[in-house]
Amino acid sequence: MTNNPATGVLDRDGLSALIEVLAAQGRTVIGPTVRDGAIVLAEIGSADDLPFGWGSEVEAGRYRLVPRADGAVFAHTAGPQSWKTFLHPQREKLWSAERTPDGALSVTEDDPEQTSYAFLGVRPCDLRAITIQDRVLAGGRYPDRGYRERRTGAFLIAAECTEPGATCFCVSMGGGPAVDGSGFDLALTEVLDQGGHRFLVRVGSEAGRDALDGVPHAPADAETEYAARAAVDAARDRMGRAMPPVDLRTLMGESLEADRWDDVAARCLTCGNCTMVCPTCFCTTTEEVTDLTGDHAERWLRWDSCFDVAFSHLHGGPVRASARSRYRQWLTHKLSTWYEQFGSSGCVGCGRCVTWCPVGIDITEEAAALHDERAGRLRHEKQKETQR
Partner 1 sequence: MSDVPVPHLVTGMRRETADTVSLTLTPAGQEALEPFAPGQFAMVYAFGVGEIPVSVSRVGRRELVHTIRSVGAVSAALCALRPGSQVGLRGPFGTGWELERAAGQDIVAVTGGIGLAPLRPLVLAARAAHRAYGRLNLLVGSRTFEDLLYADQVRAWAESHGPLLCRATVDRPSPGWWGHVGLVTTLLNSARFVPENTTAYVCGPEVMIRATARDLLHRGVRADRIRVSLERNMRCATGHCGHCQLGGVLMCRDGPVIGWDRAASLLMVREL
Ligand X SMILES: Cc1cc2nc3c(=O)[nH]c(=O)nc-3n(C[C@H](O)[C@H](O)[C@H](O)COP(=O)(O)OP(=O)(O)OC[C@H]3O[C@@H](n4cnc5c(N)ncnc54)[C@H](O)[C@@H]3O)c2cc1C
Looking at beta carbons only, is 292 or 310 nearer to ligand X?
Answer: 310
The Cα–Cα gap between 61 and 49 comes to 27
Which string of x and - marks every residue 315-334 that binds ligand X (by CB under 6 A)? x-------------------
Which string of x and - marks every residue 87-126 that binds ligand X (by CB under 6 A)? ----------------------------------------
Which strands form 91-99's sheet, in the order they lie side by side? 105-109, 91-99, 296-303, 284-290
Query: What minimum distance in Å lies between the beta carbon of 280 and ligand SF4?
Result: 5
Among 47, 348, 367, 369, binds ligand SF4 (CB under 6 A): 348
The Cα–Cα gap between 349 and 200 comes to 25
111-149 in b/e form (b: 16+ CB < 10 A) is ebeeeebbbbbbbbbbbbbbbbbbebbbeeeeebebbbb
Among 89, 337, 365, 373, binds partner 1 (CB under 8 A): 337
The Cα–Cα gap between 374 and 72 comes to 44
Q: Which of helix, strand or coil describes residue 15?
A: helix
21 touches ligand SF4 by CB under 6 A? no
Residue partners of 379: CB distance under 8 A and separation at least 6? none
Among residue numbers 293 through 312, which ones bind ligand X (CB under 6 A)? 310
Query: What minimum distance in Å lies between the beta carbon of 315 and ligand X?
Result: 4
Question: In this structure, how many other beta carbons lie within 10 angstroms of the beta carbon of residue 196?
Answer: 11
51 touches ligand SF4 by CB under 6 A? no
For the chain, strand residue ranges (E) read 6-10, 28-35, 38-43, 54-59, 62-67, 91-99, 105-109, 117-122, 155-159, 186-193, 196-203, 284-290, 296-303, 313-314, 317-318
Contact 32, 79 (CB under 8 A): yes
Q: Which does 228 bind (CB under 5 to 8 A by kind): partner 1, ligand X, ligand SF4, none?
A: none
Query: What minimum distance in Å lies between the beta carbon of 268 and partner 1?
Result: 15
Which string of x and - marks every residue 219-258 that binds ligand SF4 (by CB under 6 A)? ----------------------------------------
The Cα–Cα gap between 241 and 353 comes to 13
Question: In this structure, how many other beta carbons lie within 10 angstroms of the beta carbon of residue 201?
Answer: 28
388 touches ligand X by CB under 6 A? no
Q: Which does 307 bind (CB under 5 to 8 A by kind): ligand X, partner 1, ligand SF4, none?
A: ligand SF4
Looking at beta carbons only, is 36 or 102 nearer to partner 1?
Answer: 102
270 touches ligand SF4 by CB under 6 A? yes
Which string of x and - marks every residue 228-267 that binds partner 1 (by CB under 8 A)? ----------------------------xx----------
Binding residues for ligand SF4, total number by CB under 6 A: 25
Among 349, 368, 370, 374, binds ligand SF4 (CB under 6 A): 349
- Based on C-alpha coordinates, what's the Rg of the chain? 23
- Report how far apart, in Å, the C-alpha atoms of 53 and of each of 58, 71, 72, 75 are: 17, 4, 5, 8
Looking at beta carbons only, is 142 or 245 nearer to partner 1?
Answer: 142
For the chain, how long is the longest CA-to-CA vector?
A: 80
Contact 83, 281 (CB under 8 A): no
Among 130, 136, 301, 347, binds ligand SF4 (CB under 6 A): 347
Q: Which does 319 bind (CB under 5 to 8 A by kind): ligand X, ligand SF4, partner 1, none?
A: partner 1
Q: Sign of the CA dihedral 351, 190, 56, 47?
A: negative
DSSP string, 191-215: EEETTEEEEEEEE-SHHHHHHHHTS
Among 35, 296, 302, 313, binds ligand X (CB under 6 A): 313
Q: Interface with ligand X by CB under 6 A: which residues?
A: 310, 313, 315
Q: Interface with partner 1 by CB under 8 A: which residues?
A: 94-95, 97, 99, 103-109, 136-137, 140-142, 144-145, 256-257, 282-286, 288, 290, 294, 297, 299, 304, 306, 311-315, 319-322, 324-325, 329, 332-333, 336-337, 339-341
